[in-house]
Amino acid sequence: MKKHNFSAGPSILPQEVFEKASQAVLNFNNSGLSILEISHRSKDFIAVMEEAQALALELLGLTGKGYQALFLQGGASLEFLRIPYNLMKENGKAAYLDTGTWASGAIKQAKAFGETVVVASSKDDNYNFIPKGYEIPTDIDYFHCTSNNTIFGTQMKEFPKTDAPLVCDMSSDIFSKDIDYSQFSIIYAGAQKNMGPAGTTLVVIKEEILGKTGRNIPAMLDYSQHIAKESMYNTPPVFAVYTSMLTLQWLKNLGGVEAIEKMNETKANLLYKEIDRNPLFKGVAKAEDRSLMNVTFTLNNEEHQPIFDELWKAAGISGLNGHRSVGGYRASIYNAMPLESVQVLVDAMKELENKI
């Protein structure tokens, strides 16, 4: 039986994507070849790369606005380094917002590189809220934030205004809602939540911001070189890009980010409502900063844990345990998660209440 997969990433993808990707492993485009054995320089794969790039820009509303989409490797973690390399001038400065483990990972890489100001942090409260009302220095090369904090279950609902290029790690909420993506100069996201399997990172770049640091950038770290080579500077992760393209096609057919945002809100509301109603549970993140993607919650009484764990496991739920730094539970309800699966979780929570 297919499980209800609440994993934080790699995570659930649409069932039709699993089916089409499986078919392509056996026989890609009726070519008599597997997607796993074709050349990345073949006509068929170049068409896949081009469609994946075009769909990414289209779904973000960035077509024809001076942006390039790249499918790179090294995870979002390598972008933590590529960003300062490409944007921070010699003796320059960057500003970061510290909203979680991944944000602080990005800060660490930037600090090793040059002057890095942390404008605000919620670390002292174990990152259970998004800092607000901070000031961004004006003499910076860029400002970096993390739109959704996968581990803690918080999400930025607004982004600061700054004249500096705005850079955002959207690994865990890209393509999940309809916002003005043109406010960002760089958006990056590991594929393994809302887009595809692990193995590729989508990087969307406003081209005009590149080439201003005066630095000699090693080729694999240089966004301009990846753009010049049409995202094929080296062999791209063919299967991850293909599967990402299938997911982006699925999202487009569904009505794009506007349509999925409504569905994501419905799913998250259903679950948060139960967390707030059910006296056995409480939410981890501050209500105003709650994420639509990763719902973190705990039991009020730890003694109930073995009974609840048995209930949700028996209901066919997988991947519900919270991250070790938060504890409790985390329900990751990405784009591909059906409402019915969220209902199964809510039913298990109600069942616990009936049993106690």
SS3 155: strand
Query: What x-and-dash track marks residues 31-70 binding ligand PMP by CB under 6 A?
Result: ----------------------------------------
Q: Is the peptide bond before 137 cis (omega within 30 degrees of 0)?
A: no
171 binds ligand PMP (CB under 6 A): yes
Q: Which is nearer to ligand PMP, 10 or 316 (CB)?
A: 10
Q: Please, where are the H alpha helices in 212-338? A: 223-228, 238-254, 256-277, 305-314
Q: State which of residues 61, 75, 160, 319 lies at the interface with ligand PMP (CB under 6 A).
A: 75
Could you give the CA distance from residue 2 to residue 334 in angstroms, rounded to a whole number?
17
H/E stretch holding 19: helix 15-26
Active site (annotated) includes residue 193: yes
76 binds ligand PMP (CB under 6 A): yes
| Options 98, 141, 169, 289, the catalytic residue | 169
291 binds ligand PMP (CB under 6 A): no
For residue 305, say whether it is annotated as part of any ligand binding site. Answer: no
| Options 193, 222, 267, 289, the catalytic residue | 193
Q: State which of residues 29, 42, 73, 77 lies at the interface with ligand PMP (CB under 6 A).
A: 77
SS3 143: strand
9 binds ligand PMP (CB under 6 A): yes
Nearest to 23 by CA among 14, 9, 36, 11: 36
- Cα distances (Å, whole numbers) of residue 356 to 14, 277, 303: 36, 15, 11
Nearest to 284 by CA among 155, 169, 172: 155
The length of the chain in residues reads 356
Nearest to 250 by CA among 52, 105, 22: 52
Name the DSSP class of 93: E
165 binds ligand PMP (CB under 6 A): no
312: its two tokens: 């949700």
For residue 296, say whether it is annotated as part of any ligand binding site. Answer: no
Q: State which of residues 53, 86, 122, 150 lies at the interface with ligand PMP (CB under 6 A).
A: 150
> Taking the complex as a whole, how short is the minimal distance between the CB of residue 75 and ligand PMP, in angstroms?
3
Cβ atoms of residues 84 and 108 within 8 Å? no
Q: State which of residues 121, 146, 194, 298 lies at the interface with ligand PMP (CB under 6 A).
A: 146
169 binds ligand PMP (CB under 6 A): yes
For residue 147, say whether it is annotated as part of any ligand binding site. Answer: no
Query: Where on the chain is the footprint of ligand PMP (CB under 6 A)?
Result: 9, 75-77, 102, 146, 150, 169, 171-172, 190
Which residues belong to the annotated binding site? 41, 76-77, 102, 150, 169, 192, 234-235
- Binding residues for L-glutamate, as ranges, are 41
